[in-house]
Structure 1
Amino acid sequence: MRRARVIALTAGCSLALAACTTSAAEPGTDAASNAGAAGSSDAGSALAAGDLGVLAPASQDEALEALPAVSLAELPTPRLADGVTPPTNRWYSSLAFGEVGLPVFPLPMSVKATEAGFAVGLPEVTATETTIAGAHVDRVAVDLGATSYVVSAADPVSVTLDYLDGAGTVLAHVHLAAGSPYVSVTAASDLDLTLASADGTAWTEQDAGDADGTLATTTSGTGTYAVLAPQAPSADGALSLAAGASAVLWALPPDGEPADLAPYAAVVTGVDVGGSVSDSGATTTLTYRTEGDATTAVVRLPHQGGCTDGDPVGTYEGIYGPMPVCVGSAPSWQVPTVDVATGLDVSGLTGDERAELATQVAADLDATDVAALAADTYFGGKALYRLAQLAELAQGLGDDELATRALGMLKDGMEPWTQVDGCTERSERCFGYDATWKGVVGQATAFGSEEFNDHHFHYGYFLYAAGVLGSLDPSTVSSMQPVMDALAADIAATTGSDRVPALRVFDPYQGHSWASGISPFADGNNQESSSEAVTAWAGLELWGEASGNATLADRGAWLVANEAASALAYWVDPNTADIPGAETFSHEVVAMNWGGKRDYATWFSPEPAAMAAIQLIPLSPSAGYLGTSDPEHIRAVVAEAFGGSVDLPSSPPQFSDYLLAYRGLAGADDAATALEQARTLPEDSIDDGFSRSYLLAWLMVLAAQ
C-alpha cells in the first residue's frame, strides 16, 4: 500500500493534479446494465464495464451481510414494483414514497405524477433577492385512465413508472430521464389517453420534418408543447395508442420550431453511467438507451460545457443557466481532478511555527475526552475526523510523543464504530443493515439519517478518518475494513443489488449528490452542504488507498472531481449572469440547491455566516478546489458573511474559524492577517469538526506561499 498523498495548499490557484490511477476503460464503453427496461430494477445498473469499480458485488454483499440487522424507521408506503430497490436520494425519490402529486425536475421540464396520469411543464425562471425559482406548473395534463402507478425501473439518472388500472394491470410505461427533454408514454395494451392543455388550447398537426411519426403542438402559458405519435391527437387531445406504440411529449425551447426536436424524440428506457479518471481530468459519459437504438438529444448543464458535435438544436432557460440541446445519445464531459490528501504539508514552516503548533496540538488533545465523543453518526463522525487531523498534524510536525498520543486517541475513538456486531450490544456508536430501506444505518441517528438523509455527509467523515488512520498505521486496516467497506457500499456502490442501489446519493447528470432520502418536497430534492459532499468522496478515495483497493480509490477520485466542479459552479462561486431575472439575486453564494429552486437559506440558521460556511465545512486537506475562485470573490464571500468587512468582527459569528481559513485562500497576505485573528479567536468559535491547531496550520501554510 502507498501512503495517502500529503499536499501543500496553494493560495488563489489550483492545486497540482493528483497522481491518481487511471481506470482501465475509456468513456463511452458499453455498460452491462438493463436497469431502465420496464420491470427491471436498480439492481442492474452499473458503471461501464471495467470502469471505476468500488467493490465487486461479492465483496460488497459480504461487507453488508456482516452487519447486524437494524430497523429504525418505517419506510413510507412505497410505490415500487416487485424487485425494485428503494430509490432513496434521487431527483425522483418523491415519486416512490409518500404523498402523490409532488413534482420532480428531470430538466429541462418538470413532471407531476398523479394516480390517473401526469402533468408536464417547462419551468419559468423567476428570482428574488434570496431565491432563483423554476417552480412546476401544470401545462399539459396527460390522463391515462389509471388508478395508481409504481416505479418499475430506476437507475441513477432515469426512472420508469408503470401506470395501473383498478385490477393492477399495467396500462402504460412512462419514462423520465434527467437531461432528456422528452417524456414518453408506451402503451402496454391498446390505450386511450388525453393530453389537455391547461389553457384549453387545441392541438394542431404540424410538419414533422424528418421525424418518424405525426407531430402536433399546443400552447399553454407562455410555452409551446409538442407530441410525436403514430397519429395526431384530436383537437381536444384525445389519442389512441396500439399496444407497444409510444407518444413522446416535450416543450419547445424558446428559440425553437416545432420540428427541430422531433427527429430525436425517442423513448429513453434507461441511462448507463460511464466514468474514468486520468491526469487530464475526470470524464463522465452518460448513454441514454432508447427503443430501437434511436438517436436522441440531451440538454447540457453549464458545468458540462456546450455541445461537442455540432450546434445546439435549441436552448432552454433554467435555474442553473442556459441548457443547450445537443444531438447525440451519449454526452460526455470532463472536469478537473482534485488533489486528495490525508493532511497538510507543514514541512516548510519555521521552527517557531512548528513549536506553536505542537503546543496547540497538545492543548487540543488535552481538551478532548475520547470516551465523551459524540455518539451519533454526524457529530461522532466529525469528532473522529477532527482527531484524525490532529494525529496527522502531530505526525507531520515530527513530534513522536505527540504523534503516538494522538494516534492512540484516534484508534480508541474509532474502535467502537468499527466493531462489526456493535449494534447487537448497544444503541450508539455502531452500524447495522436495514433490509427494508436497503442500506446501512448508524446509531445513534441524526438529522433523519434513519430515513437515509445525509448519509454521505455522515459517512464521509468516518471514511476520511479511516483513510488517515490506515495511512498512519496500516495494521488497523483489517479491523476497520468490514464496516468501512459497508459504508462505501451504502453511499457509492458501483453495481446496484438487492441490498443497495448503485450510486445511492450521487446524480451523475447534475454532477452532485442529493441529501434527502425520500424528498417529500414540492421543489424536488436538495443539497445544502456541498463541501461535506466533497469531503465524502475524498474520504472514499483515501480509504480506498489505505485499504489497497485501487478501484475504490479511483471511484472516489471520479466522484470528488465531479462534486467539486458542481460545488464551485452552483454553490460557492455561482455564475447567475445568464439566468433570466437573476440580477435581483444579490448574494455571493447559493446556500442550497434544489431541483426546482436555488436558495440563500439553510436548514439551521438565517445568518450570512452560515450560508457561506456550509459550503466550507470541514475545509479538509482536500479542499484546495475552493482556492480556484478569484481572490476577489473569496474576499467578497467572507465580507458578506462577516457583515461587510473581510476582517473578523468584534463579536465573531458562528463558523468564524472556517471563514478565516477560507479567507486565507485569497492570498498570502490575507492568510497572514487571518492567522493573527485566528490566534485570538474565542474557544467557543471553534467548530467541533475543526480545531485551533488545524486552523493555525492551514493559515500558516497559506501565508508561507
Structure 2
Amino acid sequence: MNESPEEADSDRQSERDESHESNDALSLSRRTYFEALGVAGLAGLASVPEPTLASSGIHSVGNGSYTHEKPSGEGEPPATRYTTGNVGAPLPSNDWWSSALATQYSENLFFHPGFALANDTGLKVGHPTTWNYPNEDAKMNVQRDFTLGHTATTFSDTRVDGHSDWSVTLKWGSGTATTLTASLTKGSPYVFCEFEGGGAELGFRTAPTVWADRGNVLGLTHEGNHYGLFAPSGDDWSGVGSATLTNGLSGGYLTIAILPDGTSSTLDTFERYAYNFITDTGAGDATRVSPTYDRDAGEVRTTYSFNTTNKPESQVGGDATITGLYPHQHKYTDESLLGYTYECPRGTMETVSGASFTTTHPFRGVLPFLPDRGSYDDSELASYVGDVTAGYDNGQGSGTYWTGKDFGRMSEAAPIADQVGNAGKRDALHDAIRTELENWLTADGGESQNLFYYNDQWGTLIGYPDSYGAAGDLNDHHFHYGYFVRAAAELARTDESWGDDGNWGGMVDLLVRDYANWERPNRANAQEPADSPADSFPFLRNFSPYGGHSWAAGTAEFAGGNNQESSSEAIHAYAAMLQWAVFTGNDEMLNWAAYLYTHEVCSAMEYWFDVDDQNHPDEWGHDTAGIVWGIKYSYSTWFSADAEAIHGINYLPFGGHSLYLGWDSQLAERNYSEAVANDDNGGDWDYWQDIMWNYRAFSDVSDAKSMFQSAKGSYTPEAGETKAHTYHWIYNIDAMGNPDPSVTADYPLAYAFDDGSETTYVAYNGENSSITVTFSDGTALSVPANSMESSTGGDGGGSSDETPPTAPSNLRSPGHTDSSVDLAWDAASDSGGSGVDHYAVYVDETRSQQVPAGTTSTTVSGLASGTTYEFSVTAVDGAGNESSASNAVGVTTDASGGGDFSQRVTRIDGSDGDTATDELSFEFVSNVGSDWVDVHYTVNGGTQYNYRMNNPSGDTHTLETSPDYVVGDFSSGDRIEYYFTYQHDGTASDTGWFSLTY
C-alpha cells in the first residue's frame, strides 16, 4: 500500500507535536499539579469530596494489611489493557514500551538506535541521528523513514503479545487470520517481524536508494539512514526503485536491521545474525538480566543474555545476536567490540555480538547516615536537633509523596539525635515514623485513606490518597514508596523485630516489590500478594534493565517516550531497598538492590550529569538534564523553571546514599556553577537553599559553610530536610573531605572519605554480632553489632594494629536532671600505634554516642524521668579496635515531682584543703514555696544520713558535703542513693529515691 494522504498528514502532525512537546503533556504526571493548581489550588484540594471507605476484601500480611476494594472516588490505572491472550497481569508499567499497553496503538517507542510507532497501518520506523534544540531541550529528530505494513489489511488496534526484561512483541490483527507481529528490543538494531494472511509492504517517505539487491536481501539508504531487509530465502523483493517495497513472504517472517553504514561488508555481518529472532511470546525470557553483587570484590557484575529462535537462514548457531551498548555498559565491559557504532540520545552506542555480554561496576557503598565527626559546634547541633518536629509536618498536604518526604525528614534526623545524646528526640522521631507508617500499612474496614489497595488488573499496590498520578497512571511509585521503605529501614535498624515478616516486614516487602520486584512472576500462579508476593508484581517495575535507570511515567503516553526527572529520588529508592535488605537479612533482595543502586547511580552520572562531557550534544547550552526522556534531555522540571529546582531535584534528598554526588569535585563545581549562571538571583538561593548548600559542600565546603552561617537564622528548610541534618552534613564533609570513589569495601554499608591529607573510614554494622570491614586499600575496621564505627588513617593504607586500647576507667556521673545524665571518665591509652580515635558511650548496652579522643566527658540527654539507666564507655583506636568496657555506672534520672520541684546533684571540690573532687552539691528547686527541705542519702547501702539543706536562696535549697560538716569525701565507684523531704502547704512530702555513681 502506498502512504495515504491521511497517513502523510498524520506523520507531519506527529512530527509537529513532537517538536513542540512540552513537559506538561500529561495532566496527571509528576508535579504537574503545582503548575495547574498553584497554592490556591492545593488549598482547594480540601474541598474534594472524601472517598467512601473500603469495607471488605482486606488481606492481612503480618500485622499489616491491604485491600482489594478501591475506596470510592479514587483513581486507578486504565481498565482497558491492549494485550493478547498471551499476556496477563502483573503488567510491566513504567517501561519504554508501556504506552502500547494503555493506548489503542502506541506512542513513540524508542528502542535505540531506532524508534517505532504503531498505528492502524502497521509500524512506523525511523533512526534518529540529528539534534535540535527547542525550548531548552536537546532532542533528536523523530522522523519516519518507512511504515512496515501488511499487504492485505489495516488494523483496529495493536496489542502486546509478549515481553521480557528489555524486549516486547507487538501484534496487529489479534484473533484474526491476518496478523503482523513486530519484536523490538532495547539496544538491538533489529526489528523481527512475522506475518499471517499476507506479506510485507514498506512504504517510504521517498524512494530509497537500494545499493545491494540480493533477491531476498536488500541494502538501502533513505535520507541518510541505512537499512538491511532480510526475507526468507526465495522471497524476493518487488518495487525496487519506488517508494514502496513489497514481499510476499512465503516463509512468513522478515527482519529489518538499522545499519551503522551503507556498505556491503556491513550488510554481510548483519545478515549473519538477522535470522536469530529475539521474540517474546507471553512473559518469556528472550532477554534476561542476571546481576551478582560480589562483596569481597566490592563490585556488581551484570550479565545480559539473549534467547533466540533461529530461522533456517541463520548463519550463526546458538542465541547469538548483535546489540548496541550504552555508555553505562560499554565503559564497564571487557567484551570485544565490533567497531560499529550508533549515535543515540544517550551518546555513542558500541556494538558486540554473541549470546550474552557482561559488565562490571564498582559498588562504592551506602551509609544509613554520616558519622559524628563534624567540625560543628556540638551545642548548636544539639539545639537544631531539639527543634526537629516529631510528626507529620511538611505543610504540603497529604498523599504518598508528601507523606514519604516527611518520613525521609525524620529518618535522617533520628540518628543525629542519637549522636548528640538526645535519646528522647530519637525515640519521639521513631515513634512518629512508626505510628504513621503502621497506619499506612494497615487497611482497616473503617478506613478510606492512608491505606494500600491492590489492583490485580495491572498488579500494583496503590496508596490513597495518591500523589501526581501514582494511581491513575502508575507514576512515580519508586519515588514515593522509596521514602516509606527508607523509614521502615530506620525502624528495623534499631528494632529488628519490627521488620519481621510476621510483624510489619511483610507489608514493607510488598512496597519494595511494587517498584522493584526482584523475582520474575510466574503468571501461572495465583495473583495474591499476601500468599504469592513474587507472582503479584511485575519484574523491576520502574527500572529499565537495559537502559540502566528508572522511568517515572506508568503508561508513558508521550511523543518523547518515557521520562524521569529526579534521578536522585530513584537512587534513594534503591538505597532504601538495600538498607532494608541488610537490616532484615534478605541476601537475595540485597543482591538486586546493589545492582539497582549501582546502575541508577552510574546512569545518573552519565545521562543527567554527563560526567565525561560525551553524551550531551556540544551545541546544547546546558551541562545538566533536569529530565531525561526517551528521545531528549530537558533543562526543566515538571513544577518550576527555576535553575535551583532543575539542579536541586537531582540532588535531593541528601543522605548517606547520595555520596556519589561528591565522587568528582570538578563535576560538582561544574554543575553548581551552571546552576549559579542560570539562576535569576545569581546563586543567592531562595527556593531550596539547604539542598544547594549540601551539594556545594562537595566542591567548596567553605562556601557552603558561609552560606549556611549567613542564613541559618532565617531560612526555611526544604520539606524533606532539617536544619540539624544540613548543619551535620556540611560540617561532616568539612571534617572528613569528599567521598573517595577509589576505595570500596567488602560490606555494603561502608565508605571512605579523603580530605587530601588523610582518609576516614566509616562502616555501619547491620548484623547482630561484631564484624571486621576490610576496605580495598587494606584498611580493616572492627565494627560492633548494630552500630557505626569510623577511624582515620594518614595515607589510607592498611593498618597492622590489632591491639585494642585500654578500657576507660573511673566512669562516673557528676550530675543529672530529669532528662539528662552527665558522664566523665579517665582517658584510655593505646599501645598499638594508631592511637585512641574516639570513645563510644553505651546506654543499657546500646551504643548511644561517639565522643572524639581528647574529650573525656559528655551529657546523655533526652532520657525519661524517674528511670534508671546503666552507662559504660569503650575506647576505639584509629584501626577500629575497640577496648573492653569501662566500669558500669547506674544513674536514675530525676522524677518529675508532679511539677512540685526539680533537683540536681553535681560533683564539687571539698573545703578540706585537698585538691580532689570528692564532694557533692545537692540542689532542690521548689515550685510550691517550700520553707525548708531535707536531704537523705546513703553511701553504698550503708547508714542513711539526714540533713536540713542550708543556704536557701528563694526557692532554691542547697547542701554541699564536706568532711568538716556532713558525711562526704566520696571515692570513685561509690553509689549514692538519696531522696528529699520538702515542706508543702504545712505538710511534709517525700520525693522518690534517686541514685548516682560517683
Structure 2 residue matching 1:406: 3-state secondary structure? helix
The CA distance in 1 between the partners of 2:401 and 2:604, in whole Å, is 21
Deviation at 1:497, TM superposition (A): 4.2
Contact 2:478/2:570 (<8 A) preserved: yes
Deviation at 1:283, TM superposition (A): 1.9
Q: 1:416–1:620: structure 2 CA closer, same or farther, 3 Å change rule?
A: same
The alignment status of 1:78 with 2:77, answered yes or no, reads no
The alignment status of 1:560 with 2:597, answered yes or no, reads yes
Deviation at 1:77, TM superposition (A): 2.8
Contact 2:178/2:198 (<8 A) preserved: no
Residues paired across the two proteins, number = 627
Deviation at 1:157, TM superposition (A): 0.4
Counterpart residue number, 1:116: 121
Counterpart residue number, 1:518: 555
Q: Please identify, of 569-578 and 533-542, the stretch whose mean Cα deviation from structure 2 is larger.
A: 569-578
Q: Deviations over 1:373-420 (max 9, x none)?
A: 95310000110111111112112223323322332222223221222x
Deviation at 1:583, TM superposition (A): 1.9
The alignment status of 1:68 with 2:97, answered yes or no, reads no
The alignment status of 1:620 with 2:637, answered yes or no, reads no
Counterpart of 1:490 in structure 2: which amino acid? D
Counterpart residue number, 1:275: 291
Deviation at 1:215, TM superposition (A): 1.8
In the superposition, the TM-score normalised over structure 2's length comes to 0.60
Structure 2 residue matching 1:133: 3-state secondary structure? strand
Counterpart residue number, 1:382: 405
Counterpart residue number, 1:284: 302
Q: Deviations over 1:136-156 (max 9, x none)?
A: 311021112341321011223
Structure 1 residue matching 2:161: 3-state secondary structure? strand
The alignment status of 1:466 with 2:488, answered yes or no, reads yes
Q: Please identify, of 496-505 and 67-76, the stretch whose mean Cα deviation from structure 2 is larger.
A: 67-76
Structure 1 residue matching 2:561: 3-state secondary structure? coil
The CA distance in 2 between the partners of 1:648 and 1:594, in whole Å, is 28
Counterpart residue number, 1:27: none
Contact 1:295/1:328 (<8 A) preserved: yes
Q: Which has the higher contact order (CA 8 A, sep 6+)?
A: 1
The CA distance in 1 between the partners of 2:699 and 2:393, in whole Å, is 35
Counterpart residue number, 1:303: 328
Q: Please identify, of 304-313 and 169-178, the stretch whose mean Cα deviation from structure 2 is larger.
A: 304-313
Alignment of 1:127-166 (within 5 A): 127-128=132-133, 130-144=136-150, 145-147=153-155, 148-164=157-173
Q: 1:522–1:672: structure 2 CA closer, same or farther, 3 Å change rule?
A: same
Structure 1 residue matching 2:439: 3-state secondary structure? coil
Q: Please identify, of 444-453 and 230-239, the stretch whose mean Cα deviation from structure 2 is larger.
A: 230-239
Q: 1:371–1:614: structure 2 CA closer, same or farther, 3 Å change rule?
A: closer
Counterpart residue number, 1:43: none
Contact 1:100/1:113 (<8 A) preserved: yes
Counterpart residue number, 2:359: 333
Structure 1 residue matching 2:453: 3-state secondary structure? strand
The alignment status of 1:431 with 2:469, answered yes or no, reads no
Structure 2 residue matching 1:174: 3-state secondary structure? strand
The alignment status of 1:632 with 2:632, answered yes or no, reads no
The CA distance in 1 between the partners of 2:559 and 2:177, in whole Å, is 29
Q: 1:457–1:596: structure 2 CA closer, same or farther, 3 Å change rule?
A: same
Deviation at 1:677, TM superposition (A): 4.2
Instruction: Indicate the structure with greater helix content.
Output: 1
Q: 1:643–1:253: structure 2 CA closer, same or farther, 3 Å change rule?
A: same
Counterpart residue number, 1:490: 514
Contact 2:643/2:678 (<8 A) preserved: no
Q: 1:557–1:653: structure 2 CA closer, same or farther, 3 Å change rule?
A: same
The CA distance in 1 between the partners of 2:711 and 2:698, in whole Å, is 14
The structure that has the greater radius of gyration is 2
The CA distance in 2 between the partners of 1:249 and 1:505, in whole Å, is 29
Counterpart residue number, 1:417: 440
The alignment status of 1:444 with 2:473, answered yes or no, reads no
The alignment status of 1:94 with 2:99, answered yes or no, reads yes
The CA distance in 2 between the partners of 1:127 and 1:575, in whole Å, is 21
Counterpart residue number, 2:217: 215
Structure 2 residue matching 1:698: 3-state secondary structure? helix
Contact 2:104/2:158 (<8 A) preserved: no
Structure 1 residue matching 2:674: 3-state secondary structure? helix
Deviation at 1:124, TM superposition (A): 2.1
The CA distance in 2 between the partners of 1:65 and 1:379, in whole Å, is 21
Q: 1:313–1:703: structure 2 CA closer, same or farther, 3 Å change rule?
A: closer
Q: Deviations over 1:169-218 (max 9, x none)?
A: 4623311110111001123x4531212222123656446xxxxx942023
The alignment status of 1:232 with 2:241, answered yes or no, reads no
Deviation at 1:226, TM superposition (A): 1.3
Structure 1 residue matching 2:66: 3-state secondary structure? coil
Identify the match of residue 584 of structure 1 among 619, 627, 637: 619
Contact 1:361/1:390 (<8 A) preserved: yes
Identify the match of residue 700 of structure 1 among 731, 746, 750: 731
The CA distance in 2 between the partners of 1:191 and 1:687, in whole Å, is 61
The CA distance in 2 between the partners of 1:497 and 1:605, in whole Å, is 42
Counterpart residue number, 1:51: none
Q: 1:646–1:334: structure 2 CA closer, same or farther, 3 Å change rule?
A: farther
Deviation at 1:477, TM superposition (A): 1.7
Q: Please identify, of 78-87 and 254-263, the stretch whose mean Cα deviation from structure 2 is larger.
A: 254-263
Structure 1 residue matching 2:493: 3-state secondary structure? helix
The CA distance in 1 between the partners of 2:520 and 2:60, in whole Å, is 11
Contact 2:209/2:222 (<8 A) preserved: no
The CA distance in 2 between the partners of 1:221 and 1:98, in whole Å, is 30
Q: Deviations over 1:300-331 (max 9, x none)?
A: 11111257443424111112111122112312
Contact 1:203/1:237 (<8 A) preserved: no
Structure 1 residue matching 2:448: 3-state secondary structure? coil
Contact 1:538/1:622 (<8 A) preserved: yes
Counterpart residue number, 1:47: none
The CA distance in 2 between the partners of 1:159 and 1:372, in whole Å, is 43
In the superposition, the TM-score normalised over structure 1's length comes to 0.84
The CA distance in 1 between the partners of 2:734 and 2:674, in whole Å, is 23
Counterpart of 1:138 in structure 2: which amino acid? R
The CA distance in 2 between the partners of 1:241 and 1:61, in whole Å, is 55
Q: Deviations over 1:670-696 (max 9, x none)?
A: 44434434634512xx11111111111
Counterpart of 1:548 in structure 2: which amino acid? G
Contact 2:643/2:679 (<8 A) preserved: no
Q: Deviations over 1:78-102 (max 9, x none)?
A: 2111242333101001112125352
Q: Please identify, of 544-553 and 657-666, the stretch whose mean Cα deviation from structure 2 is larger.
A: 544-553
Structure 1 residue matching 2:347: 3-state secondary structure? coil
Counterpart of 1:486 in structure 2: which amino acid? L
Contact 1:63/1:485 (<8 A) preserved: no
Identify the match of residue 316 of structure 1 among 342, 364, 378: 342
Counterpart residue number, 1:21: none
Contact 1:370/1:409 (<8 A) preserved: no
Q: 1:61–1:335: structure 2 CA closer, same or farther, 3 Å change rule?
A: farther
Q: Gaps spanning 5+ residues in structure 1: where?
A: 1-59, 208-212
Structure 2 residue matching 1:241: 3-state secondary structure? coil
The CA distance in 2 between the partners of 1:328 and 1:224, in whole Å, is 23
Q: 1:170–1:356: structure 2 CA closer, same or farther, 3 Å change rule?
A: farther
Alignment of 1:660-679 (within 5 A): 660-677=693-710, 679=712
The CA distance in 2 between the partners of 1:115 and 1:369, in whole Å, is 50
Instruction: Indicate the structure with greater strand content.
Output: 2
Deviation at 1:370, TM superposition (A): 6.3
Contact 1:312/1:326 (<8 A) preserved: yes
Structure 1 residue matching 2:377: 3-state secondary structure? helix
User: Alignment RMSD, CA only?
Assistant: 2.7
Contact 1:574/1:590 (<8 A) preserved: no
